[in-house]
Copies of this chain bind each other. A is one copy, B any other.
Amino acid sequence: MTIIMHDLAGADSALRFSPYCWRIRFALAHKGLPVETIPWRFTDKPAIAFSGQGRVPVIRDGETVVADSWAIAEYLEAQYPAPPLFGSASAQAHARFINAWADAVLVGGIARLILRDIYDVIDPADRVYFRQSREARFGTSLEETQAGRETHVAAFRELLTPLRLVLRAQPWLGGAAPSYADAIIAGSLMWPRCSSRFAVLADGDVVTAWFERMLDQYDGLGRQAVRA
């Protein structure tokens, strides 16, 4: 049965850029599970009220509803074990650290580079909500958040050092093949790729080379995504 996924969309409903939704798009593709995505906007809380909360991704798999990207990944692994997203209980436990790092460090770092650009691509109905909620979170205007990004991007790229050390030693974060760890980081990087034209990654970086390979995985799922 096709899994239904509520997926953040821009003013152009083909534009999908949520870092959390992209983690699950990659995870579903990894497992070869067909998905039908339903475009969703930040302020369309009623459309996902059935999930008991107000954020995407939300999936519906038959009678089962799961929200939150990490919970969805765990659900998919339990329900559809092969091919594995994790590979073992300890692999899943270790991946949770990578997920936490992506949430706490990577997503926040990217936000400071592209927040104003996102404002330009979201649905007009979302703009007041987006500006107010993000300006409250970052304590400054959208414009100020990404001001000076040509300079600040160097510090952002420094934050990627742990990824760089790993990818110098192994082709994928999952080791010899991609795992959910690759979906987490590549999903997070689909956010700037799809919502902005600002290059958060540097040419020649091993992280960039890995991301390019991830774009080509799963029949080019990432590569083909609509960009702003």
Q: Which residues of B contact A87 (CB under 8 A)?
A: 88-91
Q: For chain A, residues 83 to 97, give those with C-beta under 8 angstroms from any C-beta of chain B.
A: 84, 86-97
A24 close to chain B: CB less than 8 A = no
Interface stretch, picked from A29-37, A39-47, A55-63, A160-168, is A160-168
A170 close to chain B: CB less than 8 A = yes
Interface stretch, picked from A3-11, A100-108, A125-133, A214-222, is A100-108
Pair A89/B175 contact, Cβ less than 8 Å: yes
CB distance from A76 to the nearest CB of B (A): 15
Q: Which residues of B contact A98 (CB under 8 A)?
A: 94, 97
Q: Which residue of B lies closest to A102 (CB)?
A: B162
Partner of A88, one of B91, B104, B105, B170: B91
A28 close to chain B: CB less than 8 A = no
Pair A100/B162 contact, Cβ less than 8 Å: yes
Partner of A93, one of B89, B105, B161, B175: B175
How many angstroms between the C-alpha atoms of A156 and B97 in the bound complex?
Answer: 18
* Known A88-B87, A88-B88; contact A172-B93, beta-carbon cutoff 8 A: yes
Q: Which residues of A contact B (CB under 8 A)?
A: 84, 86-98, 100-101, 103-105, 161-166, 169-170, 172-176, 179, 181
The copy count of this chain in the complex is: 2
Partner of A94, one of B91, B105, B169: B91
Partner of A169, one of B91, B96, B101: B96
How many angstroms between the C-alpha atoms of A131 and B35 in the bound complex?
Answer: 59
8 A-B Cβ contacts within 8 A?
A88-B91, A89-B176, A92-B175, A94-B95, A96-B165, A97-B166, A100-B161, A103-B162
How many angstroms between the C-alpha atoms of A174 and B92 in the bound complex?
Answer: 9
Pair A163/B94 contact, Cβ less than 8 Å: no
A87, A93, A174 pick with most chain B CB within 10 angstroms:
A93
How many angstroms between the C-alpha atoms of A176 and B87 in the bound complex?
Answer: 16
Pair A165/B94 contact, Cβ less than 8 Å: no
CB distance from A107 to the nearest CB of B (A): 12
